[in-house]
Structure 1
């Protein structure tokens, strides 16, 4: 049984109705008594990074909807701490944040492996005790992280693949309809 902790994936229960989190997978980056935060990793945002940050010269770098909090902020996770200093290590080999000016410079020079970095607008946040309450209400299914899944570019499948990885009962849930009353 996984516990709430940095690096855990929060997989939305198939029947979770909250429009911010229906059929999402959230990477939990921090979990403390004061609260928790993370990023929805499987919901593409409708603008690219160069549209949001004019200093970025490379077009078509995807941005993801990290969650409903502070939609005026850009965040990122990555696997390249040797190039991007100042990041917080979520789990070994996976980092949140770092020097954004360096990221922009590396992108513009074509020196950043875009398969090892993921950008988010906004984030998902929970006040003290809130995430535990949602977990106890069965809103979330916990899973260990699979970093290649986060960066594979097939966001539409992350929710299903995360459930399938957990085994038979969960794999079956991956095929549940969004609204069973419509069957």
Structure 2
């Protein structure tokens, strides 16, 4: 596919078009190639406390210092998205995904992590698509592809991220940011 989705893009769920699992979801793509795609939902807090499952990481993650629900695949596992303090360095345990965003292996000793990263966020589970599945969803119009900003990934207000990302796109996409749950009001 010549215009294949790329790591570092955001997928923003189309207003009112998908099931409840994807309602107003904003997904950061972490990988996308001929074998499929994966990403994490950026705007859903987990009902499980980060302190409960990874207490040694609690003080290292950026506010709101919570565990996020990354998606329905492997909800018992964790994915850490991180931005190094010095973008010219690749700290231990970190793999670049897009520009200065990357994945940090959670087996990395916290002593090495402390001070090496400007931002960290931990997600329980992830989103996964089989080969061609995401492309089919894009053709169907289930997702809008938009550029990512650091505040999308590490911002303190995940609850209104869907509306903020749509609003800043301008044009038709910005109008969807005013979508209401009652279709008669749209």
TM-score interval (norm. to shorter): 0.7 to 0.9
Question: Are 1:144 and 2:150 matched, yes or no?
Answer: no
Give the direction of change, closer, same or farther, for the CA distance of 1:5–1:56 in structure 2 (3 Å limit). Answer: closer
Contact 1:75 1:120 in 2 (8 A): yes
Distance 1:77 1:96 in 2: 5
Which position in structure 2 is the counterpart of 1:133? Answer: 136
Aligned length: 178
RMSD: 2.5
Contact 2:40 2:71 in 1 (8 A): yes
Distance 2:117 2:68 in 1: 14
Contact 2:82 2:102 in 1 (8 A): yes
Which position in structure 1 is the counterpart of 2:72? Answer: 68
Unaligned runs of 5+ in 2: none
How far the C-alpha of 1:105 sits from its partner, in A, is: 4.0
How far the C-alpha of 1:17 sits from its partner, in A, is: 2.8
TM-score, scaled to structure 2: 0.84
Contact 2:18 2:142 in 1 (8 A): no
- 1:25-104 map, 5 Å: 25-56=26-57, 58=59, 61-80=65-84, 82=89, 84-98=91-105, 100-102=106-108, 104=110
1:24-44 deviation per Cα after TM superposition (whole angstroms, max 9, x unaligned)? 100001001111000000111
TM-score, scaled to structure 1: 0.85
How far the C-alpha of 1:47 sits from its partner, in A, is: 2.0
Unaligned runs of 5+ in 1: none
1:53-72 deviation per Cα after TM superposition (whole angstroms, max 9, x unaligned)? 35557598311110000011
Contact 2:58 2:65 in 1 (8 A): no
Question: Are 1:166 and 2:169 matched, yes or no?
Answer: yes
Distance 2:149 2:71 in 1: 20
Contact 1:164 1:172 in 2 (8 A): yes
Distance 1:19 1:74 in 2: 22
**Higher mean displacement: 124-133 or 170-179:** 170-179
